[in-house]
């Protein structure tokens, strides 16, 4: 089997549900370094059991021959998650179809590999409390777009991780 090189991956901040298990496996295969499960004020969808998430991530790591698996922290509030992003000196991109912003490829230009955190909101979108936290975030959260379509949180997370990993690690002029 081909020896794979481990690289510093992006972080994914999300509100995963039981439906999210396959997506967590896919982002693991693409090299996400850390998954932060964020509680939200909106929606009544059951939250993902972290043991299920760990299992999916472990299987994906085996399939993709990853040397290390992404860390999955305990459920946390958005302010706490943003504090972790700030402490790690990562650029925060918020995938939010209700906000205008540059496309993801444009936003990634010039950013080093492994320094990006992606925040994907819940299926019902961010509530007023989360929007207030994001407006107050320092350094500022950068709202970005995946284009003219609306995606499920799982599809948005997978698409964004693939684009970020490609543009910051694999693209020839990356």
Domain-embedded: residue 5: no
Tokens of 28: 């693991």
Confidence of residue 108 (pLDDT cuts 50, 70, 90): confident
Is the pLDDT at 85 greater than 90? The verdict is yes
The tokens for 168 are 């910051």
What pLDDT sits at residue 146? 83
pLDDT (0 to 100) of residue 57 = 94
Any domain includes 61: yes
Domain that holds residue 95: 11-170
Percent of the chain with pLDDT over 90: 39
Asked, for residue 77, whether it belongs to a domain, the answer is: yes
27 CB burial (10 A radius; 0-12, 13-18, 19+): buried
Q: Does residue 3 form part of some domain?
A: no
**Is 81 within a domain?**
yes
CATH number at residue 25: 3.40.1280.10
| Sign of the Cα pseudo-torsion (119, 104, 17, 31, in order) | negative
pLDDT for 18-62, tens place per residue?
889 999 999 999 999 999 999 888 765 677 888 989 999 999 999
Q: String of b and e for 42-65 (b: at least 16 CB within 10 Å)?
A: beebebbeeeebeebbeebbeeee
Q: Tell me which residue has tokens 């997506």.
A: 23
Q: How many domains does the chain have?
A: 1
Going by pLDDT thresholds of 50, 70 and 90, the confidence category of residue 67 is confident
6 domain-assigned: no
What pLDDT does residue 119 have? 95
What's the mean pLDDT when you consider all of the chain? 85
Distance in Å from the first CA to the final CA of the chain: 27
- Residue at 157 is within a domain: yes
Quick: pLDDT tens for 144-158.
Answer: 888 778 888 999 999
Closest CA to 121 of 101, 106, 91, 143: 143
* Position 2 in a domain: no
User: In Å, how far from its chain's centre is CA 30?
Assistant: 11
């Amino acid at each position: 089997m081909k020896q794979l090189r481990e690289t510093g991956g992006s972080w994914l901040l999300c509100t995963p549900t039981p439906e999210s298990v396959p997506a967590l496996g896919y982002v693991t295969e693409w090299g996400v370094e850390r998954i932060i499960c964020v509680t939200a004020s909106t929606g009544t969808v059951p939250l993902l059991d972290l043991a299920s998430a760990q299992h999916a991530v472990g299987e994906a790591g085996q399939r993709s021959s990853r040397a290390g698996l992404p860390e999955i922290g305990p459920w946390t509030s958005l302010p706490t998650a943003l504090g972790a992003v700030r402490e790690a000196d990562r650029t925060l991109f918020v995938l939010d179809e209700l906000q205008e912003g540059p496309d993801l490829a444009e936003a990634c230009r010039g950013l080093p590999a492994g320094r990006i955190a992606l925040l994907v909101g819940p299926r019902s979108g961010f509530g007023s409390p989360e929007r207030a936290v994001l407006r107050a975030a320092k350094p500022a959260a950068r709202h970005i777009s995946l284009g003219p379509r609306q995606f499920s949180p799982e599809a948005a997370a997978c698409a964004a991780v693939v684009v970020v990993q490609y543009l910051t690690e694999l693209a020839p002029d990356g």
